């Protein structure tokens, strides 16, 4: 059979070896639908409508497990928590296309509805933070509030990536635009380990890094991760990218929290709030001086404290 006549592989959670991503802990694993795809979420906390929903979105090159320190802390405080594997990652479906930020924002809004809620507090880290900003801009009716960790407002990054990211991070992003090679480096090379080391203030534990590398080896996950980062660059001059950029320039009508690490090797925290302060009128900005890019893991106690303090104002849990 020739390549031209071969049928494309069906990239679904049902047929991919994703079990390594279903880490056990004080949460339950569920699968929900959105836009014709299936998404894995780890859920915890009271399952009644009076408990506000907090939806957690991981960044690259991680998966839902990056929020393992936040899930029980938020659940114990009375919140319904759902940490989601975004499109192409972990136990979620991995279709061959659909990795534009607006498409993935639609995924998130659909997951909120599939979890039985009209709105959620959307919290994202890194590239998941970009997604959280986008959900707040494109689906304000589904967003109670938005929090972005280690993630400048995408209006800033689309205007000038050099102003938002470090030189080393820009080199990695440029490398990811090359066909095929990044996928090989994610699967069999050291790209996952190198990216984690670039962003962190101090090395993450070896077993944590190894788990991220293992989950990246799930069929089609490496290509999905690369495609999402390619869209961020290649869409800038295109019409779809321009439409997205225009939508981002409208001020947000929901409260926002922006948190950065002072030793972030990927994002420049001194420039990160320049756009958000104008586009999010109700913005709280926090800096964790000794932490790097991976705030939920590098500074879990401080992140939990900041989130719970902010949530008590914007989406208080019932007593």
Q: Give the separation between CA 34 and CA 67, rounded to whole angstroms.
A: 22
Radius of gyration of the chain (CA): 18
Stretches in the chain below the pLDDT threshold 50? 1-15
Domains defined along the chain, listed by start: 22-314 (3.40.50.1820)
Looking at residue 14, what is its pLDDT?
41
Specify the pTM: 0.92
Q: Give the separation between CA 278 and CA 40, rounded to whole angstroms.
A: 34
Looking at residue 10, what is its pLDDT?
33
Structure tokens at 157: 């990054």
For residue range 162-189, what is the model confidence (pLDDT) as tens digits? 678 899 999 999 999 999 999 999 999 9
Say how many C-beta atoms besides its own lie within 10 A of residue 308's C-beta.
16
For residue range 191-220, what is the model confidence (pLDDT) as tens digits? 999 999 999 999 999 999 999 999 999 999
Say how many C-beta atoms besides its own lie within 10 A of residue 47's C-beta.
11
Looking at residue 12, what is its pLDDT?
43
CA 165 to chain centroid, in Å, comes to 17
Tell me which residue of 248, 261, 191 sits closest to 221, measured CA to CA: 191
Q: Are 170 and 177 in contact (CB under 8 A)?
A: no
Counting beta carbons within 10 angstroms of the beta carbon of residue 107, is it exposed (0 to 12), middle (13 to 18) or buried (19 or more)?
buried
Looking at residue 275, what is its pLDDT?
58
């Amino acid at each position: 059979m020739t390549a031209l006549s071969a049928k494309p592989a069906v990239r679904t959670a049902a047929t991919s070896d994703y079990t390594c991503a279903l880490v056990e802990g004080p949460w339950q694993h569920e699968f929900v639908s959105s836009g014709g795809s299936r998404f894995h979420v780890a859920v915890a906390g009271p399952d009644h409508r009076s408990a506000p929903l907090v939806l957690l979105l991981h960044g690259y090159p991680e998966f839902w497990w990056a929020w393992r320190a936040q899930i029980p802390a938020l659940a114990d405080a009375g919140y319904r928590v759902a940490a989601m594997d975004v499109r192409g990652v972990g136990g979620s479906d991995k279709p061959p296309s659909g990795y534009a930020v607006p498409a993935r924002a639609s995924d998130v809004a659909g997951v909120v509805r599939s979890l039985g809620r009209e709105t959620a507090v959307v919290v994202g880290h890194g590239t998941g933070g970009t997604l959280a900003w986008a959900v707040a801009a494109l689906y304000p009716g589904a967003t109670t509030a938005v929090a972005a960790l280690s993630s400048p407002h995408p209006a800033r990054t689309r205007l000038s990536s050099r102003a938002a990211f470090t030189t080393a991070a820009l080199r990695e992003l440029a490398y990811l635009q090359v066909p095929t090679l990044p996928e090989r480096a994610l699967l069999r090379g050291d790209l996952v380990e190198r990216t984690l080391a670039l962003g962190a203030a101090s090395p993450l534990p070896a077993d944590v890094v190894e788990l991220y590398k293992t989950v990246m080896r799930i069929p089609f996950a490496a290509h999905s991760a690369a495609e999402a980062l390619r869209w961020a660059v290649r869409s800038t001059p295109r019409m779809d990218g321009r439409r997205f950029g225009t939508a981002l320039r409208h001020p947000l009508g929901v409260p926002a929290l922006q948190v950065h690490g002072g030793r972030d090797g990927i994002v420049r925290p001194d420039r990160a709030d320049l756009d958000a302060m104008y586009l999010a009128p109700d913005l709280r900005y926090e800096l964790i001086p000794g932490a790097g890019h991976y705030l939920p893991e590098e500074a879990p106690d401080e992140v939990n404290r900041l989130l719970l303090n902010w949530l008590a104002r914007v989406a208080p849990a019932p007593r």
